[in-house]
Homo-oligomer: A and B are copies of this chain.
Amino acid sequence: MIPQSTRRRRKQAAESPQAGGDAGRRPVLTIRVDFGPPGSLGPGKIRLMELISKHGSISAAGKEMGMSYRRAWLLVDDINQMFRAPLVEKQTGGSGGGGARLSKLGRDVVGRYRAIEGAAATASAADLRALKASLAAPPSDRDSQDA
């Protein structure tokens, strides 16, 4: 048995970095934008780009997401081919295969995705509260009443 709290943290980490410490208490909205043939943008690609910006490295970013080196590089190629210019700039040379960083367009795309996420959460707050009020009580709520 995996404790409820651990499962919740894992779910948060996998799905959205905005969840913070209270995903059990409020609904977390995740956005996917499908552009048709060029591809789609969802939480995984955005999170990978944010971690590339943080670590300056594609492989370190992929590692933090529990992704193989190969998978992270393929995702970056996919992201770069979607847009009119690369979002992730690979710097060749140096030890460890060189670093990577976001281009200006890359930072713009990440910012707009997070803005869409924020606007969506604000615009739907009342409906989200109503959905939450219709949920079954989770086992963890009953546990804390017992404690």
Contact = CB atoms under 8 A, between A and B. Distances in A.
Interface string A34-76: 1111100100000000000000000000000000000000000
Interface of A: 4, 7-8, 11, 15-16, 19, 23-25, 27-38, 41, 81-84, 105, 108-109, 112-113, 115-116, 119-120, 122-124, 127-128, 130-132, 134-140
A136 B29 contact: no
A132 to B, nearest CB: 7
A132 B119 CA distance: 18
A82 to B, nearest CB: 6
A84 B136 contact: yes
Given A15-B34, A34-B28, A37-B24, A112 B135 contact: no
Contacts of A115: 124, 127
B29 A29 contact: no
A112 B130 contact: yes
A121 to B, nearest CB: 8
